[in-house]
Structures are given as C-alpha cells and as structure tokens.
C-alpha cells in the first residue's frame, strides 16, 4: 500500500489517540441515505446533525464520508455516531491491514480500495461500521466506486431496499472486492506486452517494467490475502448483526477473493518467469554477439599472419630466398586473391557447420 511514516503512532502513544495525518488532504463530503422498502431520500452534502437524525429514525441509514477527516471532525463524528475510540484511530491512521472487529453493538471492518496513481498501484483504506439499522463508511481516496450501490438503492422494489443494513454492508464489501478484477486484468495485459517485448528484444527498460509489475502484484496480494480472512470470518461467525440469508452472499464474496488470489499467484509465477526469460534473452543476445566477434576474429587470424609476414623488412638482394616474391609483378594482387579466398572459404565452412 501507499505507506508513509505519518500513518503510524509514535511508540508509547495512548490507545485510541487521534493523531492527524499531514501527507494527504482531500475535500470532505458527507452523503446521507435514508431508505426502506417504500422510501428513499438522499442528501449529498449532509451535516452531522442531519446524520444523527437519520440514525435515530426507524428507516435504514447509510452515511458515506469521503475525503480527509481531521482529528477534530472525527471526534465529533465519533461522539455523534457512538463509534469506538480504537476504531476511530484506525480510520484516521489509514494503511492498516484489512480486518474485522466487534465494538459493542457495531461491527467494524477495514477493506482496501486499490487504484492506479502515477503508473503504479496504491491502495486507499475504506472503513465500514455496521449497526442494527445503519452503515457508516469512510473512504479517503480511490474515486467514486459506490455509484452502482446508490443506483440500486434508488430502484424501488429492489432487493437492497427490502433487506437490512447487513445486506448493504455486504454489497459495499462486494464492490470493493470486485473492483480488483479490472486491475488484475490490466496486469495480465501488461504481462503479455512485456513477454512479447522481451522475446523480441530484451531492452533494459523491460527489466524495469518487470520489477514494477512484480511490485504491483505484491501490493495487491498484501491486502487481498487478509481480505479473504475478513470475508471468511464474516460468513462463519454467528453475529446477530449479519443475518443467515446475508451469509450466503458473503460466501460468494469469499469465492471471489479466492479467485483473485489464484490469479495473483499465477501472475506472480508468470512475472518470475518473465525475468528468467529476460535473463535468458540477454544471455542469448550476448552469445550471438560473441559468436559473430569470434568468427570475425578467426577469419582475420590467417590474414593477419600473412600481412605480418610480408610486413617484415628483408633485403631482397641479399639472396634468392630473401622474399623473392616481392619482386614479382603480380605479387600484390596475388596476395589479395589468396587472402580473400582464405576468408571466403572459412566463412563458407562456418556456415556449413552452423556456427554463423
């Protein structure tokens, strides 16, 4: 995940202390939805007082808080919504491992929302509170992925309007899990592109792409693995806040997390294989270069020998064996013909042996 020091407390900090982050500041927006089988009301810019009124009503309520929440505002929200101090601490210091906890009359779950930022995968934290007739969600970044849930709530007679808040809680988790499939599909496309590029030409840039791919796969795996545990616990724990009929849908969520993990493990193996293919391709290219240089060197060895012999300074008039060919009229041309014949013959012989 996109981790930084400011997300963690210093040693000795009191449990539940709200220490404000300084690294990210996004506009805050509170969305309020009151609904039941025959009623739906949405407030796009709700106040805390409106949210408290909504929680006290007999209808089901969903409060969705987007953006960066400062410590003072979070304390007000915590007091208004009766949120536990330890849960508020986790909301404020994001970057936690996905988990689920029970605090009094509430279930508290942390899920991850992955998205692409500056060419790499990072994750925003989504914190969910489930009460008897309400759901409260905190989302700092990652875009508006819950619009499909709002459309389903607006649809009169739909399953979501007729079921309890636990079904909305499940639906939010389901969206967060299914949101990972397009990212994984994009990673699969990246693997195919890198594989083709590596087989075609093993450039240094491909090695950087492989390392970036492995980093993104590791990032996804780091929060998908605990999310599988979260969903598995929600569907097996006998908690009165989650009805038996909703656990059936959570089982489907669990199947999706297993499927995502299988894909991630397969892609991790493929990424590791890509690096092996890259190293092998670089090695093969190096061998090809060395083979060409070796052939060239071997071809020029006898030519260098001949030019070295005839480059020696001997007095041709000293005797009949003192390089008499230096006086022949066609000696220079003959030497070139001899050297070209030797070089051509060696090249033909190398080709026939399959060395070149």
CATH number of the domain encompassing residue 10: 3.30.460.20
DSSP 249: H
Same domain membership, residue 253 and residue 318: no
Q: Structurally, how many domains does the chain consist of?
A: 2
pTM over 0.85, yes/no: no
Kindly report the CATH number assigned to the domain that includes residue 326.
1.20.58
Residue 356's pLDDT is what?
65
**Same domain for 272 and 312:** no
254 lies in the same domain as 294: no
Q: Is the pLDDT of residue 70 over 50?
A: yes
Please say if the pLDDT value at position 12 is more than 60.
no
pLDDT in tens, 83-114: 888 888 888 877 788 999 998 888 999 998 88
CA distance 268 to 307: 58
Q: Specify whether 133 is located in the same domain as 202.
A: yes
The string of pLDDT tens digits covering residues 108-133 is 999 988 888 888 888 888 999 998 88
Helix or strand holding residue 1 (H, E)? none
Q: Same structural domain for residues 275 and 295?
A: no
Say whether both 102 and 239 belong to one domain: yes
Domain carrying residue 323: 288-353
Q: Which of 119, 179, 126, 127 has the alpha carbon at shortest distance from 148?
A: 179
Task: Say whether both 40 and 108 belong to one domain.
Answer: yes
**Is 203 in the same domain as 237?**
yes
Q: Which comes out higher in pLDDT, residue 270 or 239?
A: 270
Residue whose pair of structure tokens reads 């450039």 in the numeric block: 203
Show the tokens assigned to 176: 């967060």
Together in a domain, 246 and 298:
no
Terminal Cα distance for the chain, rounded: 51
Residues 181, 294 share a domain: no
Does residue 253 register a pLDDT over 50?
A: yes
Q: Is pLDDT of 5 > 60?
A: no
> Is residue 172 domain-shared with residue 212, that is, in the same domain?
yes
């Amino acid at each position: 995940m996109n981790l930084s020091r400011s997300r963690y407390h210093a040693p000795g900090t009191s449990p539940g202390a709200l220490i404000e982050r300084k690294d990210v500041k996004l506009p805050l927006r509170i969305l309020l939805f009151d609904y039941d089988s025959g009623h739906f009301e949405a407030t796009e810019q709700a106040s805390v007082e409106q949210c408290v009124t909504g929680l006290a009503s007999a209808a089901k309520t969903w409060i969705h808080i987007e953006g960066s929440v400062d410590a003072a505002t979070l304390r007000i929200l915590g007091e208004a919504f009766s949120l536990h101090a330890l849960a508020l601490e986790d909301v404020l210091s994001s970057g936690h491992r996905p988990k689920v906890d029970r605090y009094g009359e509430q279930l508290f779950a942390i899920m991850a929302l992955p998205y692409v930022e500056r060419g790499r995968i990072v994750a925003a934290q989504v914190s969910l509170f489930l009460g008897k007739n309400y759901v409260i969600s905190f989302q700092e970044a990652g875009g508006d992925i819950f619009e499909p849930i709002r459309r389903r709530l607006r649809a009169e007679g739909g399953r979501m309007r007729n079921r309890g808040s636990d079904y909305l809680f499940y639906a939010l988790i389901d969206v967060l899990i299914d949101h990972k499939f397009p990212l994984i599909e994009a990673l699969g496309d990246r693997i195919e592109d890198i594989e083709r590029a590596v087989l075609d030409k093993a450039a240094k840039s491909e090695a950087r792409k492989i390392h970036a791919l492995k980093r993104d796969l590791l990032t996804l795996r780091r929060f998908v693995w605990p999310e599988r545990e979260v969903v598995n616990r929600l569907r097996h724990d006998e908690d009165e806040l989650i009805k038996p009929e909703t656990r059936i849908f959570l089982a489907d969520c669990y199947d999706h997390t297993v499927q995502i993990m299988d894909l991630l493990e397969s892609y991790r193996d493929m990424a590791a294989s890509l690096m092996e293919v890259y190293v092998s391709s670089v090695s093969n290219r190096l061998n090809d270069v060395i083979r060409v240089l070796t052939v060239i060197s071997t071809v020029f060895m006898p030519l260098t020998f001949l030019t070295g012999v005839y480059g020696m300074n001997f007095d041709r008039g000293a005797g009949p064996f003192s390089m008499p060919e230096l006086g022949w009229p066609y000696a220079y041309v003959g030497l070139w013909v001899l050297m070209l014949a030797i070089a051509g013959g060696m090249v033909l012989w190398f080709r026939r042996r399959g060395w070149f």
